[in-house]
Structure formats: structure tokens, C-alpha cells
Amino acid sequence: MSFTYFLPGENNIKQKYSTESNSIVIIGANGSGKSKLGAWIEKQEPNEIHRIGGQRSLNFNKNISLKNYNEAFHYVFYGSDNINSKIVRWGNHETTTILNDFEYALAAFLALKHNDCDKFLKDCKEAEAKKAERPEIPCTVEDKLIAVWNSIFPHRNIVIDDSKFYALVDKNGNKEKYFATEMSDGERAVLYLIVQVLCIPDNKKLIIDEPELHLHGSIMNRLWKGLEQVRPDCLFIYITHDTDFAALHSQADKIWVKSYDGIAWQFEKLTDSELPEALLLEILGSRKPILFVEGEKNSLDTQLYTELYPQFHVIACGSCTQVVVRTKVFQKTKNLHGIDVYGIIDRDYRNENEIDSYKKYNIFTIKVAEVENLFLVEELIKIVARHEIKNENEIFEKIKGYILNERLKKQIDSQICQSVVADIKYRLQVADISSKNESKAKDSLNCAIESLNYDLIKSTHEEKFQAICKSENYADILKFFNEKGLANSIGKYFGRRNDDYCPLVLRMLQSGKHPEIAEALTKYLPPEIA
């Protein structure tokens, strides 16, 4: 199925576009004019487009006033019973008006539900009169609502009773019912958006401003995926600044709104299916090279990287997987933006082959097991000891002995096991199992399986860890010993609380008075990122 839509060309003269996808994502920074562009698109086809504004009220009464469908729909679509204009709906503030149409949408939904029942009853009576087979029970608008709702809230059913909406939750084996008016903001937002989409006639176009509003990421993704499935006849036009939401719609047309001067827009219709880095930079307001890192925003490790790489815009991605995914995506679209992008990940239990395989994507590995171990390197411990007026060699030897004897040696079996598991996962991961060639897939899989001699793999990793313990090589300990929270256990050796050590290092680094810290850590960082 093909859909058409309009975008402003030169002098804002509308230009027609078509798409095979039933979704379009309009994305840009706050203030770039994307909401005004949505309003402009609506004006080109006012009777074909239903726009759900970013400002919307989620309040409604327990008892919904029943209306016929046309009346309720007109109030949802036009804001009144005047079907020739949307002036009442938007007033003079087409992008900032707070929509208060929840009840109208619920009323339109109830009218459709009633119409579905009436039509089925009529069809059954006609079949009976003709002594024909009764028609199959159709998929009603109520069925669609319940299906989408259950995909989001599987343990919290929605119930429609006469003109009332309820939520039904299982508590200790008992069903507890409460009015929809008592739902959380997230639940009411979901209900609002579902009925808005379902109550619109066939083959319309929907503009949704801020589809992520009031919604957790996981809920948002399931909601819009479900609604696109139950309304394949509609074109969904999303207006957002959420790059994760845009990336989720990999097959959608993407329109990047760069700016709006009050008259015309500067935008780019992206032809690549993946999100360009320049878009993210625009949103974040930075033109520096990008460094994707593990961890959360404002976490200690992210703060450390921010100080160590002041020439980069450091972006926390959470997991290693996200660092890899984002770096690869933005590397592939560098022709669109021309900005350098890097990823930096923990060594964890990776072997050298795996580490090398990432380098072609500008993803590099630190020379310790995890970023927290940077706080434990010998050079840094001695710097902090001097700052705290302690004997640096004595402090270091105590910390080294503690990490080796009290932590590593007592966890060595667990460390070996995790190292073995990581090795096996990598061997399976690199197997070239192609879905296009069954013979090659089988050969590759068999080869990978044959390499999985557990005892041999375990023996190799066992020897490695035993050798580390025997040699007491501190650099190797930090390179291979992977334990979260280890850095937060040594503050006592400096006469401080254990959890004050890492913040102390950051304060020293951020003060600008201790350049030796960055110099000390440089040898443990990938030389390719500079």
C-alpha cells in the first residue's frame, strides 16, 4: 500500500511525496520548528489529517456522555460540529493549544463499538432470514483496543461497561477493578492515544506530536507498533526529538528539521534508513567529535571519561551493546555529517581477536577489565596517597595485597567460569551462519561447535588466572579481574569512607590542579582515541 503526503518546497509551495511505509518520523531539536511543520502539513489536507498535539489533557469524567459517531467524531476531528474548519479546535495557537478532547474520543469509540454490535446483529438476522450460515464474529474496535492494551499492560486488563471504562488488576489472586479516571498518567496516556487512533475513519493520516509524552520507552515502542498494526490503512506521521524512537522506526521516512525562521523551514529528507550523527549532535547542541561510552549519564565512569576526553562530546549509552550499535550506525552515515565518532568499551572478558574486530568500526577497548579499574591503577593510587599525605608505596602494597588475596583469589573460580562463558559466546557469535546458504550455515555451525572443547577452554583460562596470582603482576590483575564495586572498597586505606575514594579522584581531576592524573591514566586508554 502506498501513502502520499506533502512537504513545503520553495516559497512553501507544497510538494507531493509518496512512501510504501505507513510511518514517517519528523525529528529535530527543540525549537527547530518541527511542530509548526506538522501544523503546515495538516493545513494542506485538513479533512484527511488528524493531528494529535503535544499539549493534551488526560482528564475525563467517569460517565461518558453517549453520542452518535458522527457528532463525537466531529468534535474530535474539528473541535466542534463545524466540519468545514479546525479553527475552533486549534484557535490562534495551532501548536500550543491544550487539547481537551479525551471524552469526545471515548464517546466516538463507544459509538463505534455500538455500531460494530448493531452491524453484526443485522448481518446475523439477514443470514437467518436467508437460512444462510451465520457470519464469523468480526474483529471489532473493542477487540483492537483490548489487543493493543494487553500488549502493553498484560497484567492489567481494560474493561468497558456501558459508558464506563475500568482497569482490572490481579492482586493476590483477587481481581480488583478501578475507574479509568484513577489510572496512572502512563495508563491514561495509552488509553487516550489508542482511542484517538481507533476512532478515526479509514484511510486517514495521523500526525502525532511528541509520541513519547507520559510514556516509558518500552511502553511507547509497544504502543505505536501495536497501533500501526491495527490501523494499516492509516499513515502515521510522528513529530519527535527522541532519537531512540526515530531509530526504532527503521523503515520509516525520516525528515530532519534543521531550523525554521518564521517563514520557511530548512529540512532534509533522509534517504538512509539509519539515523545520522549530525542529527544527534543538533539535538544535543554540540559540534564536537562524539565519544559513546558505557554507563549512565552523570555516573562516575561517564564523569571520568568526560574529564579524560575534554575534546569530545561524551554520550553515555548504558550498555556495551548500545555503544557498539550507536557507533556502527553513525559511522555508516558519516557521509551525511562528516564528524568523527568513536566508541569506548570495557575489556571485560574479551580476547584479542574480539577486541581487534571492533576497531574497524572505531570502537576501542580500555586496557583494564572495566572502567572502574582505572580508579585502581598503581599510578593513580600513588598520586592520591601523596595528596592525602600518605606513604605511597605502603598504601599501594596494602591495596595490591587486598585486591589479590581478599578479592581475586577468593573469586577465582567465578572469574574463570565467566571468562570461559565469554569465550564460548564469542566463538558462537563469529560463526558465519547465513540464512541464504544452508550448506555454509551448517558447516560454519559445525566448525564452531567442534571448537567448543569445554575442558580445553577452561584449562586455558584457568592457567591464565593461576599465572596472574602466582606472578602477582598488578597490571595483569586489573586487566583481567572483573568485579563491579571494587574501586569503592579501598577508601579505608586513605583514612576515608570506602565510597568517597572515586569522588575524591574526580574532584582532584575536575579541579585542574592535578594534570598528572590524566597523564597516569593515558597509558590504559586506547591510543587511537585522541
For the segment 316-324, the average pLDDT, to the nearest whole number, is 90
Q: Is the pLDDT of residue 184 over 90?
A: no
β partners of residue 240: 27
Q: What is the pLDDT of residue 244?
A: 72
Q: Is the pLDDT of residue 237 over 90?
A: yes
CB atoms within 10 A of CB 62: 12
Q: What is the pLDDT of residue 146?
A: 93
Average pLDDT, the chain: 88
For the segment 423-450, the average pLDDT, to the nearest whole number, is 72
Q: Is the pLDDT of residue 68 over 80?
A: yes
Q: Is the pLDDT of residue 480 over 80?
A: yes
Residue 205 near residue 50, CB atoms below 8 Å:
yes
pLDDT, tens digit (0-9, with 9 covering 90-100), for 220-236: 888 999 999 999 999 99
Q: What is the pLDDT of residue 391?
A: 96
End-to-end CA separation in angstroms for the chain: 49
Q: Is the pLDDT of residue 276 over 70?
A: no
pTM higher than 0.85, yes or no?
no
Q: Is the pLDDT of residue 285 over 60?
A: no
Q: Is the pLDDT of residue 434 over 60?
A: no
Q: Which residues of 155-168 are buried (b: 16+ CB within 10 A; e: fewer)?
A: ebbbebeeebbbbe
Q: Is the pLDDT of residue 412 over 90?
A: yes
Q: What grid cell was written down for 444?
A: 560454519
pLDDT, tens digit (0-9, with 9 covering 90-100), for 361-403: 999 999 999 999 999 999 999 999 999 999 999 999 999 999 9
* Integer Cα distance of 229 and 223 in angstroms: 10
* Integer Cα distance of 427 and 447 in angstroms: 10
Least confident of 191-195, 273-277, 309-313, 509-513: 273-277
CB atoms within 10 A of CB 301: 20
List Cβ neighbours of 240 (8 Å cut-off, separation of 6 or more): 25, 26, 27, 210, 211, 212, 246
pLDDT, tens digit (0-9, with 9 covering 90-100), for 448-457: 777 788 888 8
Q: What is the pLDDT of residue 286?
A: 53
| Domains of the chain and CATH, by start | 3-22+40-273 (3.40.50.300), 373-504 (no CATH)
Q: What is the pLDDT of residue 161?
A: 86
* Integer Cα distance of 439 and 383 in angstroms: 59
Q: What percent of the chain has pLDDT above 90?
A: 53
Q: What is the pLDDT of residue 163?
A: 83
Q: What is the pLDDT of residue 339?
A: 74
* Integer Cα distance of 279 and 26 in angstroms: 11
pLDDT, tens digit (0-9, with 9 covering 90-100), for 118-136: 898 898 998 888 888 888 8
